[in-house]
Structure 1
Amino acid sequence: MNWTALKEKLDLYEKLMRLDKPIGIMLLLWPTLWALWLSALGRPDFMVLWVFVLGTVLMRSAGCVINDFADRDFDKHVERTKERPLTAGKVSTREALWLFSGLCVASFVLVLLLGKPLVIWLSVPALFLAASYPFTKRFLAIPQAYLGIAFGFGIPMAYAAHQGGVPAEAWWLLLANVFWAVAYDTEYAMVDRDDDLKIGIKTSAITFGRYDVAAVMACYAVTLGVIGWVGYSLHLGWAFHAGLAVAAGIMGVHYTWIRGRERMPCFKAFLHNNWVGAAIFAGIALDFLISGRSL
């Protein structure tokens, strides 16, 4: 294989892993960062932070690969996805499975570097969730809830890495992430609703029907409520609450975009959730910085 052919193949792998579209990485990374800062009271261990950030990139990439493998026959009927490398036949299913396996092995090696038994054990269900999510769209009415668990499993792992256990607040944060994922991925599903109805894929946008916008806003509210309760229980101050207020304002803007149920504004709202996660994290990090608290 010459250099040109190799470069073209690597470009296809990059697109298969969606490294050219980092929004998924950010939506996976923000809740992990929330947990890393909260579990370490604002002073995360550098090695733990490095492992989790890199692991987030690897596992999101692996999730995209297995998602396209699972949906390769469905994606050809959807305008937005029909040119994806696996669906278009530019990457073989064998290549995709090897790439998925390689990414998972690399992620597991990172976990081993931490040398923390509970984190290693928690990586097993984390891998199962990431690998099985794409197939839940065949039978779950709201597969986005499953996605929220998969996308948020870095939360209990972060607590295990810093504290050696998983307290109740970690599971509450995971619950908040489930509702957040249902909200933003319903916005995403609203973009493809017509195509998904034709091919038989189940999504929250279809399940919620004409109540989709109300469901998104309700899930946003629960997300803020649960995170707010966690912050209150940890005695976080004004900076944390200011971050939640900014996030709430951003969510309000999303309402103005999705209420018309038009494809592009809904997609814009989905992408804009990056700023929701960032606002919440900024509030957490700033609160610990101002207070100067430590373990």
Structure 2
Amino acid sequence: MRCGAPHRPAGSASDDGKMAALLAGFSRASCRFHAARSALAAATALPLRCPAAPLGPPRPLSFSAAELVRAAPGPLRPYLHLMRLHQPAGTWLLYLPCTWSIGLAAEPGCLPDWHMLSLFGAGAVLMRGAGCTINDLWDRDYDKQVARTAGRPLAAGEISTFQSFVFLGGQLSLALCVLLCLNYYSIILGAASLSLVVTYPLMKRITYWPQLVLGLTFNWGALLGWSAIQGSCDWSVCLPLYFAGVMWTLVYDTIYAHQDKRDDIVIGVKSTALKFKEDTKQWLSGFSTAMVSGLCVAGMNCDQTFPYYSAVAAVGAHLAHQIYTLDIDKPEDCWKKFASNRTVGGLLFVGIVLGNLWKRKNSETVEERSESR
């Protein structure tokens, strides 16, 4: 007798047999049911008893540059990182001086040339990418020693030096195609900036003022945009605008350099952040004042109007707030302040466009007064 089985009298053996047969039938039916359930689960690829991960809220659809780069095919991704396509702040800072110049060169009462704005936008993406590639080729050994840059494709070994040179050649070839769409004066003027693009990364080894050389490089569009529209540069407008852009670069790139100052000391490279140290805010205030002065001179020399000067005042206020609230010892705050300079450039561009449209309103008022006389 099985342990735990109920005791039955001997005469009930036939009943026990019937009961055993019934239980066996139930067992076979249960096996067939479980087999059918397993087959159904395999066919539908839905496991019946698998501990599923908890479902979080649906991820919002994003069209940010970083998300687009992340969604790119794997073999392409290191090249997109090499040209910093996932960090578009630098591209905007290269592009915006071009938009200022194109806007100022427009005819009174007219919007900027959208074809030129698009052309210069493509050129800014390509040339910023080429500049970053050149920078990483020069700095690949330094980048390995800095926590923030150790993951860059060249420093991390994701791309070889040869592949980077080939990629650089492709970017420069496409940028040349964009440049050849401009007039001859602008082609020569644009080609002249290439020496600055190539030599800028070396400056941090030579001088504490690499940010000045970057300013001379990044703001070349303040000259090129005007010449692309007008056929040549009006130096009374272009030079003050270019000077203002260089001062602006000294502001935002000094802030940017404070992120890496500890690593820069260790590896032996120079920057304005290391030169200015605790006096950084005083220097930035001086550069901001010089920038606003240059913008005012450029505006006066091309007969700009009230909206333009309102935008210049807003730019000055933004820079003042930026400098006042800056914490040079917090890298995350330095990055935030650096990236906010896109707003500075955008404010000025809007002011230029509105100021140029205002010129037509003023001219119509003058004409009406002369006719009434």
TM-score (norm 1): 0.93
Q: If you compute each CA radius of gyration, which structure gives the higher value, 1 or 2?
A: 2
Q: Between the two proteins, what is the percent identity of the paired residues?
A: 33
**Matches of 2:92 and 2:118, distance apart in 1:** 15
Residue 152 of structure 1 corresponds to 219
Of 340, 345, 349 in structure 2, the residue corresponding to residue 272 of structure 1 is: 340
- Correspondent of 2:112 among 44, 69, 87: 44
Match of 1:202, SS state, is: coil
Counterparts of 1:129-208 in structure 2, within 5 Å, are 129-168=196-235, 169-208=237-276
How far has the Cα of 1:202 moved from its partner? 1.0
Give runs of aligned pairs for residues 29-178 of structure 1, distance below 5 A.
29-41=95-107, 42-114=110-182, 116-168=183-235, 169-178=237-246
Give the Cα–Cα distance (whole angstroms) in 2 for the partners of residues 11 and 104 of structure 1: 19
Which one of 237, 250, 253 corresponds to residue 321 of structure 2?
253
Q: What's the CA shift string for 1:36-76, capped at 9, x where partnerless?
A: 11122454334333221111111011111111111111011
Q: Give the residue type in structure 1 aligned to 2:173.
A: V
Residue 260 of structure 1, CA deviation:
5.2
**What code does the residue aligned with 1:229 have?**
V
Q: Residues of 2 paired with 1:162 and 1:171: CA distance?
A: 16
1:140 shift after superposition: 2.1
SS of the aligned residue for 1:181 comes to: helix
Cα distance in 1 between the residues matched to 2:245 and 2:231: 22
SS in 1 for 2:84: coil
- How much does 1:214 deviate? 1.2
Instruction: Output the CA distance in 1 between the equivalents of 2:131 and 2:171.
Output: 9
Equivalent residue letter for 2:310? A
- Residue 72 of structure 1 aligns to which amino acid in structure 2? R
| SS at structure 2 position matched to 1:100 | helix
Structure 1 residue 20 and structure 2 residue 86: aligned?
Answer: yes
Q: Deviations over 1:105-134 (max 9, x none)?
A: 1111111123x1111111222222112211
CA distance in 1, matches of 2:189, 2:220: 8
Structure 2 residue matching 1:81: 3-state secondary structure: coil
Structure 1 stretch 57-66 or stretch 227-236: which is displaced more?
Answer: 227-236
Give the deviation of 1:289 after TM superposition.
Answer: 2.2
Q: Could you tell me which runs of 5 or more consecutive residues in structure 2 were left unpaired when the two chains were aligned.
A: 1-71, 364-373
CA distance in 2, matches of 1:38, 1:288: 7
SS at match of 1:113: coil
**Is this contact kept in 1: 2:258–2:328, CA < 8 A?**
no
Quick check: 126-135 or 71-80, which moved more? 126-135
> Which residue does the alignment assign to 1:3?
none
Per the TM alignment, residue 173 of structure 1 is displaced from its structure 2 partner at its CA by 1.1
* Distance apart, 1:259 and its partner CA: 4.5
How much does 1:233 deviate? 2.3
